[in-house]
Amino acid sequence: MAKYDFKLPDIGEGVVEGEVVTWHVSVGDVVSEDDPIVDVMTDKATVTIPSPTDGTVVSLNGEVGDMVAVGSVLIEFDTDGSAPSIPELEDESEPIEEEAEEEQVEIPAKTEVREVVKSPEVSKPVQMSAPEIPISSSRTVLASPAVRRRAREANIDLASLSGSGPAGRVRHADIDAFVAGGGAVMGAPPVAYSTKRSGFSEVKIVGLRRKISEQMVKSAFSIPHFSYFEEVDVTELEALRQALNTSRGEDQPKLTYLPFIMLALAKIMPEHPECNGYFYDGDGVVHRHEAVNLGIATQTDRGLYVPVVKNVESMDVWQAANDLIRVSGAARTGTASLDDLTGSTFTITSLGRDGGLGATPIINHPEMAILGVHKAREMPVVRSGNIVIRRMMNLSSSFDHRVIDGADGARLVQHLKKMLEHPAMIFM
């Protein structure tokens, strides 16, 4: 047997190190060429690095969450002497030239870019024996990518399981219960709420969650936020939305409130330029943008992403809805491009039906403002001295008080309220 040291390859222009997100192998494992061995996250992408050779894993250099320098030994193999001949990386002492940022990260051969989700409690797919079930059901199953991968490797049809998570989501515990039952369909053991619980688990913050954490700290501690709340009567907007949805064509998406809010913001933003752009505090310079590029905060299985709908000012409501669906869907499936995830000048965050009554949204640094949209609900309100039922929606907004005065932020929200309460004005 021969020893082969595999070094972390250059996985992108200007990248000098990567964070170990997930190990797919352990010491003693026998791997084949092209088997996935580790997921590494850089500032530009998360990549899965495959094995360059057949062999046995001797050692792993780096724990989950550790930063590994490009060119340093990542994993050691025992091989049969047929280890591939891979050119050594250039001397690390040589300066790495950073070129203009590209929209797509260049990856060397045998390095596959893909989005990675790893359940914190499962560090390696469990090899188990389970009855072979033909995967033929077309029923939509809610499950994380980690659960799907584990089921696929165990040849288990997720559609045959009864998910015990929210909305029927299949969890790792459901797979465990399925296997323990000899392949019989059964749910995860019920939680005994009458039993006292103790103990805790440690979850290391790595990968995208670490990036989100760093960004939130940077925003919250470097930007003096002020928040402003308002309620909006969207009864007329709801009537317009229903009418358009009833008459929409087959190629037109079903409209939610967001496309109307996006168009309203694009319509009024020229009168509120101080709210659309970036504040680079290190240089003391505000960039006020004419284009309205709206970031849409999107929750995914991998964490919070902010895909961008660009140049909303040039769109109609159907175009805005289509692009909103496209970029948010790409973020959820992990297929969003770098261009889809950069360039926002103002951000909208909405939790839909879970929107609650109010919040204090954190600004997406280095932007200067963010709008939170809450669920619409029917409420009794007073109109002309009479109590009537109207459809009301709350808005929560935050602004960078260093460059936006309270009166300016309030004027933006009041202008938006006027547009939404009289939706014909959006299209005039």
Same domain, 147 and 237: no
Query: By C-alpha distance, which of 19, 55, 54, 53 is closest to 38?
Result: 19
Residue 105: domain span: 2-113
Number of residues that this document lists for the chain = 428
Boundary-marking domain end, from 157, 189, 221? 189
Query: By C-alpha distance, which of 82, 76, 92, 110 is closest to 7?
Result: 76
**Residue 46 belongs to some domain of the structure:** yes
Same domain, 104 and 125: no
pLDDT at 43: 63
Q: 405, 408, 415, 422: which is the annotated catalytic residue?
A: 405
Query: By C-alpha distance, which of 86, 83, 81, 77 is closest to 109?
Result: 86
Query: By C-alpha distance, which of 12, 40, 10 is closest to 338?
Result: 12
**Residue 17 belongs to some domain of the structure:** yes
Same domain, 281 and 408: yes
Q: Which bin fits 182, alpha (ψ -120 to 50), beta or left (φ > 0)?
A: left
> Per residue of the chain (428 residues), what is the pLDDT tens digit?
688 888 888 766 566 788 888 889 988 888 888 888 888 877 656 778 888 888 899 889 888 888 888 888 889 888 875 555 544 444 443 443 433 343 443 434 444 444 444 444 444 444 444 444 444 444 567 777 778 888 888 888 888 787 877 667 788 888 888 887 776 555 555 555 567 788 888 888 888 788 888 889 999 999 999 999 999 999 999 999 999 999 999 999 999 999 999 999 999 999 999 999 999 988 899 999 999 999 999 998 888 999 999 999 999 999 999 999 999 999 999 898 889 999 999 999 998 778 889 999 999 999 999 999 999 999 999 999 999 999 999 999 999 999 999 999 999 999 999 999 999 999 99
Same domain, 37 and 144: no
Same domain, 315 and 368: yes
Q: Specify whether 401 is catalytic.
A: yes
Same domain, 291 and 265: yes
> 257-268 and 235-247 helices cross at what angle (nearest 10)?
120
Same domain, 69 and 164: no
Distance of alpha carbon 428 from alpha carbon 422, whole angstroms: 11
Q: Specify whether 405 is catalytic.
A: yes
How far separated are the first and last CA of the chain, in Å rounded?
76
- The CA–CA distances, whole Å, from 306 to 159, 267, 334, 359 equal 31, 22, 12, 18
Distance of alpha carbon 398 from alpha carbon 243, whole angstroms: 32
**Residue 196 belongs to some domain of the structure:** no
What is the tally of structural domains in the chain?
Answer: 3
Same domain, 403 and 279: yes
Same domain, 56 and 182: no
pLDDT at 189: 55
**Residue 198 belongs to some domain of the structure:** no
Q: Which residue has the tokens 């938006």?
A: 416
Query: By C-alpha distance, which of 307, 123, 301 is closest to 202?
Result: 123
Boundary-marking domain end, from 60, 80, 113? 113
pLDDT at 197: 80
pLDDT at 166: 65
**Residue 378 belongs to some domain of the structure:** yes
Q: Say which CATH number the domain at 383 has.
A: 3.30.559.10
Same domain, 27 and 142: no
**Phi/psi of residue 317, nearest 5 degrees:** -65, -35
pLDDT at 64: 85
Q: Which residues of 234-385 form beta strands (DSSP E)?
A: 277-280, 285-288, 294-300, 303-305, 308-309, 346-350, 369-383
Buried b (16+ CB within 10 A) or exposed e, 199-227: eeeeeeebbbbbbeeeeeeebeeebebbe
**Residue 133 belongs to some domain of the structure:** yes
Q: 5, 401, 408, 415: which is the annotated catalytic residue?
A: 401
- Lookup: tokens for 232: 């909006």
pLDDT at 62: 84
Which residue type, as a one-letter code, is found at position 137?
Answer: S
